[in-house]
Amino acid sequence: MHELGVTENIVNIALAKAGEAQASKVIKINLVIGEMSGFVPDCIQFYFDSLSKDTIAQGAVLHFESVPAQLRCRNCATIFQPQDTLWSCPKCRGQSIEISKGRELYIESMEVE
């Protein structure tokens, strides 16, 4: 639902970085997206194809690395992955939980020529 603005940012960052590197073409953009971030890769790709048209990023491949959600129990510090929607620690059954991984949303690297 909110991928258009995010994709605009991706195109802007990619073009700026490619410019700094004096590249003539962006081949691939490696993105890291946390499972809990709520952004849909297919949707980003769809907008990217249209927003990058007539730029040096046109035709670039978007590669998405998905980071699985990782939770941490505040009571016993156990790190675990959510098994269902009810978050509870597999070790102490505690329900005081924080998200340690899975909210990422960044461009990791790019391939240019």
Partner 1 sequence: MKKIEVIQNILDANETIASRNQQLLDKHKVFAINIMSAPGAGKTSLILQTLARLKGRLNVAVIEGDVASTVDAEKVQSEAKAVVQINTRNMPESCSLMAAMIESALKDMPLDNIDLVLIENVGNLICPAEFNLGEHKRVVISSLPEGDDKPIKYPLIFVDADAVIINKMDFLPHVDFDIATFRRSIAGLNPKAEVFQASCKTSEGIERWCSWVLEQVETNATKR
* Site for partner 1, rule CB under 8 A: 1-2, 4-6, 8-10, 12-13, 17-18, 21, 23, 27, 31, 36-38, 74, 85-88, 94-99, 103, 105-113
Judged by beta carbon, residue 4 or residue 67, the one nearer partner 1 is: 4
CB of 41 to partner 1, least distance (A): 12
Please give the single-letter amino acid code of residue 38.
Answer: G
Q: Cα angle at 62 between 1 and 46, to 5 degrees?
A: 40
**Distance between CA atoms of residues 97 and 79, nearest Å:** 10
Beta strands in 5-112 (DSSP E): 26-34, 61-67, 70-73, 79-80, 97-101, 105-112
Closest contact distance (angstroms) between CB of 24 and partner 1 is: 11
- Residue 18 or 54: the one with the smaller Cβ distance to partner 1 is 18
- At closest approach, how far in Å is the CB of 54 from partner 1? 19
